[in-house]
Amino acid sequence: MDKQAKIYIAGHKGMVGSAIWRALEKKGYQHLVGLSSKELDLKNQLEVQRFFKHERPAIVIDAAARVGGIMANNNYPYPFLMDNLIIQNNLIDSSLQNGVEKFIFLGSSCIYPKLAPQPLREDVLLSGSLEPTNQWYALAKITGVKACEAIRKQYGKDFVSLMPTNLYGPYDNFDLETSHVLPAMIRKFHEAKINGNLPVTLWGTGAPLREFLHVNDMADAVCFALENTFTDNLYNVGTGKDLTIKSLAELIQKITGHQGEIIWDSSKPDGTPRKLLDVSKMKEAGWQATIGLEQGIQETYTWFLENVDRIKQVKLN
């Protein structure tokens, strides 16, 4: 890959996009393009079309999305469906119409059916019903995967979809109403600790199994996809290892130094019983994760402590 190629990273200020930006800079890519939402509204089709016609990027990495945890997905189904559809459709179609050489679409493991056989292989897509609490986001992302697949089939373009497992790391969203489980736990345990080791109440039973991938590993996977030609359109990105939410809570409690009680509110939903990705396709292609979970959480908590006064807190209207 030409280090002078113009690469547009949509969502470059977010946790994933910023990690990709840092990884590409480290590798020596010198022509990175990123615009804030104030500079370019990705939900405005005309603005996006004008941007592509003017900038003519050679590569596009779509890390732009409206994201959130169970509560946010459950409470705001329409924007999670519609905003993501509009954003990705504008980016995908403008990329096709303006000769983008390579398009990397980032999705989520929630695209797979709730009760699909574990670990989740790419070919179980659309084989069953989705998890109800995040089906809106999942449906949008499935549409993006299929749009990229259609472009590969009809036009022979190098459009590829990467489906990461649960991501975490620096620049995550730590807002308790809209964040995912791992950053929410970090904040809850930290605040409970500094307020006298108060009890921490967590949703569900703690029984579900989840897999977590450090965002720097995800960025490395994107770089790998950028610098290699994949034979297929859809690849899972994860560690291939999972743990119970209860075990995750105990690990974060240890790392943060909280010494109080953990209370499980079983009246709240658990979500999907298990969500472990089969990552054999990426491994066969030549990539695998390298950051262990305890190391990754410790690094994330260190970043949280350094930025606790200005961490990003997304509020949904």
Beta strands at 209-210 and 243-244: parallel, antiparallel or unpaired: antiparallel
pLDDT at 235: 98
Structural element, H or E, at residue 133: none
Contacts (Cβ under 8 Å, ≥6 apart) of 306 = none
Is 98 marked as a binding-site residue?
A: no
Q: Is 15 annotated as a binding residue?
A: yes
Task: Report the chain's mean pLDDT, rounded to a whole number.
Answer: 94
- At residue 309 the predicted structure's pLDDT band, cuts being 50, 70 and 90, is confident
| Residues assigned a catalytic role | 137
How far is C-alpha 270 from the geometric centre of its chain's CA atoms?
20
Is 12 assigned a ligand-binding role in the annotation? yes
**237, 164 Cβ separation under 8 angstroms:** yes
Output the CA angle 158-278-211, nearest 5 degrees. Answer: 110
Helices 215-227 and 15-26: crossing angle in degrees, nearest 10, is 60
From 3-12, 139-148, 220-229, 266-275, the region with the lowest mean pLDDT = 266-275
- In whole angstroms, what is the distance from residue 254 CA to residue 141 CA? 35
pLDDT tens sequence across 221-240 = 999 999 999 999 999 999 99
Query: DSSP 3-state assignment of 275?
Result: strand
Determine whether the annotation assigns residue 43 to a binding site.
Answer: no
At 26-78, the pLDDT tens digits run: 999 999 999 999 999 999 999 999 999 999 999 999 999 988 777 778 888 99
Is 203 labelled as part of a ligand binding site?
yes
Give the tens place of pLDDT for each residue, 89-134: 999 999 999 999 999 999 999 999 988 999 999 999 999 999 888 8
pLDDT band at 317 (very low <50, low <70, confident <90, very high): very low
Question: What are the respective helix, strand and coil percentages of the chain, to the nearest 5?
Answer: 45, 15, 40
163 annotated ligand binder: no
pLDDT at 312 over 70: no
Q: Is 175 annotated as a binding residue?
A: no
Residue 262 has pLDDT above 50, yes or no: yes
- The answer to the question of whether 1 is labelled as a binding residue is no
Q: Residue 306: exposed, middle, or buried by beta-carbon count in 10 A (0-12, 13-18, 19+)?
A: exposed
Structure confidence at residue 245 (pLDDT): 97
Distance CA 140, CA 131 (A): 14
pLDDT in tens, 141-194: 999 999 999 999 999 999 999 999 999 999 998 988 778 899 999 999 999 999
Q: Identify the residue with better confidence: 243 or 73.
A: 243
The answer to whether 16 is a known ligand-binding residue is: yes
pTM of the model: 0.92
**107 belongs to an annotated ligand binding site:** yes
CATH topology of domain 7-307: Rossmann fold (3.40.50)
Tell whether 117 is in a known binding site.
no
Degrees (nearest 5) of the Cα angle 17, 19, 23? 115
